Structure 1
């Protein structure tokens, strides 16, 4: 789209027109390939996270007023109305903090989008290609809006996955519902007035609540707009709209420039570790040094980290008490990486966080922000009890755009997440169906495969 002819006082309408006019064949095949990887990663996280106590508590709270059972909660088989199914799938997909990351904004793109779309696939015929088309558009809307206000919006304390995700969910759902340009504009405005999520909630059950609520609210926005429920037509860019109220920076060119030419999903990444993305370089470095020098908790005197400032800001919890808090502790995470040689969901179990061996080692970890260290870099120095210092500089962490997870590694991650819920053969079947989503005539086989056998 030619940015020179775009009226930037009408950004919301520009985005709406783009989504409505988009045709599946407008999008390059390599973008669809990345969308499949994003969907697979999301699906694995949703199935794996479905057994977390957060889901039990959410279901107990909403059952008294949940509507007719129309859509499935992946990994569980519970049937809820569309909006609550979107909420639950969004929560489960983020509860392990293991989902995808758009590194430019730290948005977790798939959670709000896929969680809004999947319930729709149970109430109307939707091919895999149609699903992926809407999914890509939702990610594009979500991440471009995120780009326009990042980092000031995030620095102010907003959880950008929740605040930007609601727009992507509304756009994706609206595409499937067949909204016209006016209705899509309203849908984005309705999304804008529901945008929320506070970073203060990190380390609690409210963090995964954010993408769940974004999915639910975006889906509601699309359905309201389909009934000609009105909103401002400048919900994003108006002086009292989303961008100017929730951020001190707004660059509309980030939304409109080369719209339809470049695709934000191409910048998506997938976590090898089940914690905040900013810790990943430190974990990568600790595991490399552990394996290279046979390091153990018993022979380590100290672990020193030189990190990007966001590491301390986001993951500076020195004495986490629960698994959810442990995901936001660089100290616990590095200790677990040394002891176990990995940092999957098991390493963030409550009993691991409080294990005396882990606690003793994490108190030997020191982290200091250093100017010039990028977000995917770290300097690690591990000194052993005999006085030897082992040093490593990680230029790009595993899972970053420069060192992406391979398809085989991604399948292995999803398999580890799904096997406790679906069993080994069930996990393999689920992965195969997700991988082939582009050729599916319906998403129902995938949804059914994501439910454990009774």
Structure 2
């Protein structure tokens, strides 16, 4: 998929000129065009949109996708609620929490809204099973929904207000992400955290009724709190990033509501956020088409609980396993033609934990052949240590291949009798082109909630998510999804 290409060839025209006869002289004598003036009012333009956009103006397709985003997010937050990562975080923060203002999905503890936003954000990202904006690999819901649901637990807001704020937060973070991607991501920033804080601030500020100037301040305070480095991938620190983005954004909006000031141009100024964290800045991505072009419509949902670049491989492996009825012990070799980003992000050859398995293309392919799935259970400590999986992952041979996009894989399986089976995946299940259905999202939710919520409660919470726009109190979703 072209929107997933992580490297862009720049300066082709300049290189052609440099190779032409007399190019050097032409370059020296020709008048270079004057540099584009620094953009003005990017932060303010975005702030004005966020405080003025109404739920009534949202296209029905956007409302629908936002509802699916919320349903998926609640499911993954419930699913991650009893992971060791959250146990550690709850134990660490509980002695320091303020008043018990908001609950946690799948757990009985209650925290102040700042810590609740952080913890639900962590929980929703633990399994790498959350939504993905493929243009930027941002996971949009984690920072935004975690912040505003914590706020809604303290101060009731209608489902329609909540849904509007969710869309506005997603638009803010993804547009800002678009403006600096891929350079910002390539240098090492975890863009879900660094851009997500803007989404959390915008959405929370909208529910608080900030003025335009206060929203400018909120976005500015968010800009001062970028969080998340890609070096953290494979550790508990990775899910810290969207959780902290949620609490940082909520923090920014709370301060701005009381008049805590910031620069008016914190996104676009010479020493502002975009120029500081990236060598690429395309401010048109932030300001053009507000209210007519929706990044929310490009959100996708993972059928597999791992990094998105491994999804084509898992999809291909499951197809071959199920359609060809191939037993894993008959596989002699699996050749994968992949994009460079696959090995860059998921090149761990011998993962030792479930978390590390989420960043191993070798494990992902092997477990898909052995278990015919790629859900949370397939990226557990148990699955990573399974002897059959360990043996098969040593037969996985990924090779970076020109012409293969990050959303694609070319897989050839060689069997012990010399026969080969081939699959080329252009658009894996869960992509924009091959989206998960509502029924598949609900099955995913039910699987994640199994053993955490009673079945009747799971159905109740899913029903509330589906009818979010009609709820008089959006915070009721969190109360229903927490344990007494």
Aligning the two structures, in what range does the TM-score lie when normalised by the shorter sequence?
over 0.9
Tell which deviates more after alignment, 102-111 or 439-448: 439-448
CA shift, 1:275, in A, is: 0.3
Check whether the contact 1:116–1:218 (CA below 8 A) recurs between aligned residues.
Answer: yes
Determine helix, strand or coil for the equivalent of 1:422. coil
- Which residue matches 1:38? 69
1:439 paired residue among 470, 474, 483: 470
Question: Structure 1 residue 385 and structure 2 residue 416: aligned?
Answer: yes
CA shift, 1:80, in A, is: 0.3
- Which residue matches 2:381? 350
Question: Structure 1 residue 57 and structure 2 residue 103: aligned?
Answer: no
1:98-117 correspondence runs (5 A) = 98-117=129-148
1:5-404 correspondence runs (5 A) = 8-404=39-435
CA RMSD of aligned residues (A): 1.2
CA shift, 1:231, in A, is: 1.0
Where structure 2 has 5 or more consecutive residues not aligned to the other structure, the ranges are 1-36
CA deviation string 1:41-91 (max 9, x = no partner)? 000000111010101100111112111111111110311001000000000
Tell which structure's C-alpha radius of gyration is larger.
Answer: 2
CA shift, 1:315, in A, is: 0.7
CA shift, 1:7, in A, is: 8.8
Distance 1:393 1:315 in 2: 20
Check whether the contact 1:46–1:90 (CA below 8 A) recurs between aligned residues.
Answer: yes
Determine helix, strand or coil for the equivalent of 2:452. helix
Distance 1:159 1:359 in 2: 29
Distance 2:459 2:289 in 1: 39
Distance 1:419 1:355 in 2: 22
Distance 2:251 2:107 in 1: 23
Distance 2:325 2:454 in 1: 33
TM (norm. structure 2) is 0.91
Check whether the contact 1:86–1:115 (CA below 8 A) recurs between aligned residues.
Answer: yes
Residue-pair matches, total: 448
Distance 2:385 2:459 in 1: 33
- Which residue matches 2:28? none
Where structure 1 has 5 or more consecutive residues not aligned to the other structure, the ranges are 1-5
CA shift, 1:310, in A, is: 1.1
Determine helix, strand or coil for the equivalent of 1:259. coil
Check whether the contact 2:125–2:242 (CA below 8 A) recurs between aligned residues.
Answer: yes
